Chains A and B, each alone.
Chain A
Amino acid sequence: MFDFAPLTKWIDTVLHNAMSPFWAVVVEMLIVGVLILLFYALIGLFLVYAERKVCAFMQNRLGPNRVGPFGLFQTIADLVKLLLVELVPIRNADKFLFNLAPFIVITASFMAIAAIPFAKGLHAIDLNIGIFYVIAVSAMGVIGILLAGWASNNKYSLIGAMRSGAQIVSYELSVGLSLITMVILAGSMQLSVIVEGQATGWFIFKGHIPAFIAFIVFLVASTAETNRGPFDLAEAESELTAGYHTEYSGIKFAFFFLAEYMNMFIVASIAATVFLGGWMPFHVGNWDGFNAVMDFIPPFVWYIVKTFFVVFLMMWFKWTFPRLRIDQLLTLEWKYLLPINLVNVLIMAFIVLMGWHF
């Protein structure tokens, strides 16, 4: 397996030899920041394109196909358009909060991406409470959404933001509990340890039934948490024009848009890391030949393929199911997902205690 650790180590020693430790750390942070920013922009643009293509194919359409081969540069053209669009000033808006909101939303998703292990040794910060950090940081985005809705001074925005608040507060529980189920199985919250623990088999296979239930619950709850359809009440076009980002235009709108897609990607990465083994290749018990063949595929490819598989599942949900009402949304969480989840945590704890997992 290709390991990024020697490469990063080498960069670290070179920088430390060239300058004082303080500046070495500053330069390292800059490099990581620029790399993540690039990755963020590229993935965001690609996800918008992928979403439009997937949606089109599910509806018997072609989707974007004019700009570049297969319409690949469509989103780049869209981005250029968004950058050139006028930023409409809202007269009665709370100017400071109005301008602050998109940055909070995008910072929340940007902070979450730092803790995700992309490949062996390619991991910006490996916190010992990695999962906790990701949940905490990604929940911060709702502050931005609430601020956007409040500061816009617009009834649609406010209703959208309030719905989003109610939704994220309730679904955060399910996301947390389904991840706790897997933390019990992994025995650690550190993402690198969780990935290493799946060397002999992904957790979704290792933890069999409770892990699978946790995976389904996580998928549903995280789809709701990222405000995507069928849980997109916060921006329900048919009722609220565009919900909390009704009043935003140009690059500020692009921030919300990009943050939404990146939140989907982050949530999919967490699902891939915790349930599907992250960058760990597909290994089956004692089949050494098979495992060796699987090791030839680079870990980063494994990570991307798994993440995009989960992203595809979420797009599949969005373009199949109709939007829920707010009462149905809360019923689903409090009457179904939460009880199932609590029972599931108990079952998982019991299974781990008895050693019934693989």
Chain B
Amino acid sequence: MRSIIKYLKEIVMAVWSLLKGMKVTGYYFFQPNKIVTQKYPENRKNLVMFERFKGEVIMPHNEKNEHKCTGCGICEINCPNGTIEIISKSILTEDGKKKRAIDKHIYRLGMCTFCALCVKTCPSEALAFSQEFEHAVFNRALLIKVLNKPGSQLMKGVE
């Protein structure tokens, strides 16, 4: 008798768990607003990528054309496939001291694997990811980018 009760209980529990699964898929079936697919070329104008999306490495500049990169070279050391090359120069500070500063932060987009080691290890948080993803160009040379803008300076207070 006990085994029969166990048998029936098993069936009821099995059906219950199957119904639970069907509830989830059924819920999504009747919720078209939960669809995550983007109709890309059509909605190109108002497509908003996610914050966490890794499009390409950029160096954010503020409105006074200042960045936070001190030219320490940690990103260059950490990059696993030599995507980043830093060309530094020495400048004279206001009080007449010599100081290392960045001349060119060269970023080769064609070699980047988007591992984010440069962004994570940067001590002054000078690098970030942009959500730009339309990278196709006709010339490979165009994929080599200089991240610091011409005439930009180190932001005050960043050492």
Contact = CB atoms under 8 A, between A and B. Distances in A.
B21 A57 contact: no
Contacts of B36: 60-61
Contacts of B139: none
A321 B32 contact: no
Interface residues of A, number: 15
Interface string A6-45: 0000000000000000000000000000000000000000
Contacts of B34: 60
Given A54-B29, A316-B26, A336-B11, A321 B21 contact: yes
Nearest to A318: B25
A321 B18 CA distance: 8
A132 interface: no
B37 A320 contact: no
Given A65-B39, A321-B18, A336-B11, A60 B28 contact: yes
Given A60-B34, A60-B35, A320 B21 contact: yes
B22 A316 contact: yes
Interface string B1-15: 000000000010000
B24 interface: yes
Contacts of A58: 25-26, 28-29
B22 A57 contact: no
Given A320-B21, A321-B21, A62 B28 contact: no
A319 interface: yes
Contacts of A62: 35, 37, 39
Interface of B: 11, 18, 21-22, 24-26, 28-29, 32, 34-37, 39
Q: Which 4 A/B pairs are nearest by Cβ-Cβ distance?
A: A62-B37, A58-B25, A320-B25, A320-B21
Interface of A: 54, 57-62, 65, 316-317, 319-321, 336, 340
